[in-house]
Amino acid sequence: MRTVLSCALLATAATCAALLWRTPRAAAPQSEAPPPPAIVGDAEQVKRAYAQWREEFEAGPRQVEVPLAQPAAHIRRRSGPVGSLTLDLDQHSVLVQVENAVEPMDAWLVANVDGPRRSFLPEPGDELRYLGALELDGGCAQLATSVAGPEWSDMTLDTVAITRRGERPDAQTLLVGQPNVFERLYGAELAARKPREGVLLGDGLPLAMIAPQIAIGSFDPAGQIQALVDHGEKLFFLGTFSGNGRTCGTCHPAENNLTLDPDFIATMDPLDPLFVAEFDPNLDSSQNGGLMFEQPQLMHQFALILENLDGFDDLANRFVMRAVSHTFAQKAQLRRPVVGQSPPKQRLGWSGDGSPGPGTLREFAVGAVTQHFPRTLNRVPGVDFVLPSSTQLDALEAFQLALGRQEEVELSNPADPNFIAFEDVDAEQGKQTFLGLRCGTCHDNAGSNSFFTTDFTGVQVGDPFAFTLANGNFDTGVETFLLNNPDGTGLPRPFDGGFGTQPTGMAPPGGLPIPGPFGEFGDNTFNTPSVIEFADTLPGFHNNITASTPLHPDPVVSAVLFYRTAEFANSSGGQFEPTPLSMSGLDAELTARFLRAINAVQNSRNARRFLLRAYDLALTNFTAFEPVILRGVGLADFEVEDAQQVLAGFGFSPDPDPAFSDARALIDIAEDPFQPIATRTVAIKKAWYRLLDAENDLLQ
């Protein structure tokens, strides 16, 4: 039975917020050139998602909950204070709640001012407004206040900060948080279309405008989303944040499915910033006193990246080695279970807690910059890197929502518009095997979500509304498989405890974390990824263990066969399956064939999306946008090549390879600078149709 806390179950949402008051954030310098049009991110998908979100929000209840957590904290969310600010637009009220509070606190509204070397955190020069004092009652602190009246008429919600009683947020902040990009867009839209009536910009949402230079009355949500995705794509692939030269795209290259693998790493320039630990003495453990930033051999051999998700207090010993999660389909795999496994607010990374602060997609870049971009391992903001600004977080969040698949497929119900079935008999049988083996227990419809109980009260046994889909965590025994099957390098590879910072119940409240039996910190669970994109993002699993200890010559089959190992059978996740070892070798091969087929379909759909964007730009102005068009058709070519490689040698019938090959030949024409522009434009369109033919060969 759940315990109802007086602080309104704040453990389900670590949140905080601040409000922009009177002075708008400074606009970017006018001399800065606008970013090129996005080609990797699909802004049209974000526009549709925003329109759906807006419709659902306006249907009510019209409440915005902004999560609050310690700034940039990965490891203290469970033991330290967490909270939320809830803005009720109908009641014109604000409720601030903090759980695990141990001292008197104040709530502030902060207007972040953008500028060189400024971040999203409260800093000197930001506009501050005192919201009120939180009343402390036991371990909960609360502030309820009205925001009706003329004194709030020019207020917009940007950042919320919680401080110790009597302190200013630009001096020290206990908790901080911001609304997400859709909420901020909605606030800007309402501010533009409604007159100021003295109550929260009329009855609208008081949220900061994404671009302060946008004039009231001229706000265009679709145009603003396109601008955000354009800006976010540039930041993702080119933004170094004054660090060691790495960008988000260093580990998530668009040319390699937004992930890394050993073969791709082998093609990279030896001086690429990915390898900075091999030539920068500040980051090389052999020259800096044994402090670990990367382990180059494990990076080159297994594409493993060092992460300090349990904290930066022991850089020589306290770290884990993880594969690079691809960033496709973020929109479809962010939702965490309502009951348990929280915080964080959203699911990110292999352990599901890979984002700092409140743990949302918005803060993901904050963790990436802090972890992977520093000049030295002191990791001092403003010295070793510059944290993203609010505007940059807007752009990066929008861009990440624009990547890859947006909707789930349907594997069982032919009446569903997203239903897919395969022409290849064995691939279709593999789909049925996937369903029959109950793989969908953790990968519903081959995605990342599972069914979990909701927080509804009074539901009856068997009530279909008692469960909801969410991206949960499970212990599948992968780490113990690593113990029994080491990678053979002898290099430090500490046991990875997964989610959280301590095994449940192993430390007293407020006590220091106590490591588990293998020295790990965490509850030994890992987040479920989508398997639709799996076959060309191998080796798989958070530690790429099947790369060093394959169970079958086919790497996809090898990953499937893990689920009949003793390690899985003895794990808590294995208990979901009544007979986890009953899968035959043929079952594994058929399941792998299905995974190859569905991956190839997604490859084709990704490629068609790139081609469609390139075609639209070509019709607009081929000459002006030629570099972007070429990147788009080039990325399409990579996707088609992936599809061919995923299917090669397996004898799919009908064979989609001729259509794939034709599409690549047409892409070659589109890339040929000696061909007339009209010919190149037509080739893009024809390639799109040939990919549709390939999908028709794969799908019924």
pLDDT at residue number 219: 67
Query: Nearest 5°: CA angle at 203, between 202 and 205?
Result: 100
Domain spans, the chain: 10-216, 231-401, 425-504+525-589, 601-698
pLDDT > 90 fraction of the chain, expressed in percent and rounded: 63
DSSP 614-641: HHHHHHHHTTTTHHHHHHHHHHHHHHHH
Instruction: Report the first-to-last Cα separation within the chain, whole angstroms.
Output: 47
DSSP one-letter code for 353: B
Helices (H), 447-575: 478-484, 545-548, 555-561, 566-569
Q: Specify the CATH number of the domain 601-698.
A: 1.20.120.660
* Local confidence band at 454 (pLDDT 50, 70, 90 cut-offs): low
- The answer to whether 363 and 354 are in contact (CB under 8 A) is no
DSSP 72-93: T-SSSTTTS-EEEEEEETTTTE
Place of tokens 């200890």: 549
pLDDT at residue number 194: 56
As a whole number, mean pLDDT of residues 678-682 equals 98
pLDDT at residue number 55: 94
pLDDT at residue number 79: 63
* Local confidence band at 396 (pLDDT 50, 70, 90 cut-offs): very high
Residue 634 has pLDDT above 70, yes or no: yes
Residue 540 has pLDDT above 90, yes or no: no
As a whole number, mean pLDDT of residues 385-397 equals 93
Looking at per-residue confidence, does 246 or 549 come out higher?
A: 246
As a whole number, mean pLDDT of residues 297-304 equals 96
d(CA 588, CA 582): 11
For all residues of the chain together, what is the average pLDDT?
86
SS3 99: strand
As a whole number, mean pLDDT of residues 459-480 equals 75
d(CA 81, CA 65): 17
**What tokens appear for 7 in the block?**
């602080």
129: which strand partners?
109
Helix or strand (DSSP H, E) at 249: helix 248-251
d(CA 478, CA 407): 28
Q: How far is CA 432 from CA 438, 564, 588, in A?
A: 10, 18, 12
- The answer to whether 336 and 344 are in contact (CB under 8 A) is yes
**What tokens appear for 543 in the block?**
């530690």
pLDDT at residue number 554: 95
* Local confidence band at 72 (pLDDT 50, 70, 90 cut-offs): low
- The answer to whether 359 and 353 are in contact (CB under 8 A) is yes
